[in-house]
Amino acid sequence: MNICERCGLPKEACVCKELIKSEEKIKISKEQRRYRKFVTLVSGIDKESIKEIAKKLKSELACGGTVKDNVVELQGDHTSKVKGKLIEYGFKEENISE
């Protein structure tokens, strides 16, 4: 049986990801790049789950994007939609700022 190093529970019953989600302070912003193109930036997500979250956001928002320096960059202005999606993924609304 595998045991989690953080919480000491078996891997099947591990609650570390849920605890991390409740403590993260996420910031959503947009930035204008070349040729008046906008990029939505999502920062403050844990390093272990940032690629998984980025993949979900890109798929559900039908846009391209990447992860650079622990910041999710989404092509286009998605600031109004990203907050709702992050709440669906289990992040607390009061920990998300725009």
Cα three-residue angle 68-85-90, rounded to 5 degrees:
95
Count of domains observed in the chain? 1
Contact 37, 11 (CB under 8 A): no
Residue 1 resides in a domain: no
For residue 52, what is the domain's CATH number?
3.30.780.10
Residue 57 resides in a domain: yes
> How would you class 15 by CB atoms within 10 Å of its CB: exposed for 0-12, middle for 13-18, buried for 19 or more?
exposed
21-30, 39-48, 82-91: which has the minimum mean pLDDT?
A: 21-30
Residues in the chain: 98
pLDDT, tens digit, for every residue of 84-94?
999 898 888 88
Residue 18 resides in a domain: no
**How many Å apart are CA 5 and CA 21, to the nearest integer?**
18
Give the per-residue pLDDT at 1.
65
Residue 13 resides in a domain: no
* Residue span of the structural domain in which 71 resides: 25-97
pLDDT, tens digit, for every residue of 52-76?
999 999 999 999 999 999 999 999 9
* The model's pTM: 0.79
Contact 48, 19 (CB under 8 A): no
Query: Which of helix, strand or coil describes residue 30?
Result: strand
